[in-house]
Amino acid sequence: ILLDEPFAGVDPIAVADIQSIIRQLAERNIGILITDHNVR
C-alpha cells in the first residue's frame, strides 16, 4: 500500500485512527510505504 502524506490536514484523533489501521495492516504482513514531509 502506498500512502502519500496520509496525515496532511487531518485532526489528531483521525491521525491516531490512521496510525492504528497502519499498525493492523503491518501486523498482517501487508507492505506499506508512506511519504511524509514532516521534519523529525
Inside any domain, residue 31? yes
Q: Which domain covers residue 11, as residue numbers? A: 2-35
pLDDT (0 to 100) of residue 38: 72
Assessment of whether the complete model's pTM goes beyond 0.85:
no
**CB-CB neighbours of 10 under 10 Å:** 13
Q: Is residue 40 a part of any domain in this protein?
A: no
Radius of gyration of the chain measured on its C-alpha atoms:
10
Residue 13 within any structural domain of the chain: yes
Separation CA 28–CA 10 (nearest Å): 25
Q: What pLDDT was estimated at residue 40?
A: 66
Residue 21's pLDDT is 97
Give me the number of domains the chain comprises: 1
8 A C-beta contact, residue 5 and residue 15: no
In a domain, 19, yes or no: yes
pLDDT tens-digit series, residues 1-40: 999 999 999 999 999 999 999 999 999 999 999 998 876 6
Distance CA 24, CA 28 (A): 7
Cα-to-chain-centroid distance, residue 26: 11
**Residue 9 domain flag:** yes
